Amino acid sequence: MALGQANSADRVEAIPLSSALGAEIRGVDLRQPLDAQTSARIRKIWNDHLVILLRGQELSEEDQVRFGESFGPLNRSAKKRAHHNAKNPAIMLISNIRENGQLIGALPDGEMQFHTDQSHQETPCSATMLYALEVPSTGGDTLFANCYTAYETLSDELKARLEGKRALHAYDYDNASTRRGTVLKEGIPHAVHPVVRTHPDTGRKALYVNRLMTLSIVDMDPAESEALLQLLFDHIEQPEFVWGQVWKPGDVLMWDNRCSVHARTDFSAAERRLMRRVTILGERPF
């Protein structure tokens, strides 16, 4: 579309990115406000594909916040460090850049295991949006797995075994984004959620456990819990359910944390990576 042209639902195109999940949306300039029909069309594509990608965007903080707000109220309480130079309290920086020896953002370096954002909180964010400003020449990709498909492809026996089960999630990876404990340590933020959750918009069921933050299944023998979780993690992360975003500056990517998990591939510490992030407030998983 011509830059500066007003957005219109008729011009919105969705191009699937893989058989697992994801759609690229074309025909939208996020510097321009979205009318109700265009927002509804984008939301429908997002509900159908779980992850949406808009390329070649040139967004101010305000543009990104406005787009985020079209999905619901934003989280404005990110850690102070991660705001750095951001003017808007809804913006958090994800970056490995250090200025005067200090990190300017959160989740700085290298690989991260599959996880879903804020599953250690009682009401985790429903969605996360990243806008890429600087990306490494290779690596630092974000991988996504479809947790609806993961649930739907379980055997009936396994589905019955998971019925009513709840799991403990904890945030214990400030400096270790690839390891996970199985025991809750003193003072670590945590929450308990259903192992299978229902998406409030689509009504579909999705597996809601992840390799980075799910410690154990509640009221289950530890060895049995660990074996079951490892089986579920491997099932969720199988290549047929996964698609990976190879970033370019100007990419806007938004994912649904209620039905997908994501991971990050390693990248060189010698290269800069800078993303602006906003998250949309969510509901208690059910």
List active site positions.
115, 117, 262, 277
The pair of three-digit structure tokens given for residue 232, joined into one six-digit string: 């579920």
Residues near 231 by beta carbon (within 8 Å), at least 6 away in sequence:
none
Q: What is the DSSP string of 44-81?
A: HHHHHHSEEEE-S----HHHHHHHHHTTSPBP----HH
Shortest distance, position 32 Cβ to ligand SIN, whole Å: 27
What are the backbone angles phi and psi of residue 154, rounded to the nearest 5°? -70, 155
Sheet of 13-16: strand order equals: 13-16, 23-26, 51-54, 252-256, 127-134, 274-280, 92-95
**169 or 262: CB nearest ligand SIN:** 262
Point out which residues bind ligand SIN (CB under 6 A).
94, 107, 112, 117, 128, 142, 262, 264, 275
Residues near 205 by beta carbon (within 8 Å), at least 6 away in sequence:
148, 151, 152, 196, 197, 198, 199
**125 or 228: CB nearest ligand SIN:** 125
Shortest distance, position 71 Cβ to ligand SIN, whole Å: 16
DSSP 5: P
**91 or 275: CB nearest ligand SIN:** 275
**197 or 262: CB nearest ligand SIN:** 262
Shortest distance, position 251 Cβ to ligand SIN, whole Å: 11
Shortest distance, position 119 Cβ to ligand SIN, whole Å: 11
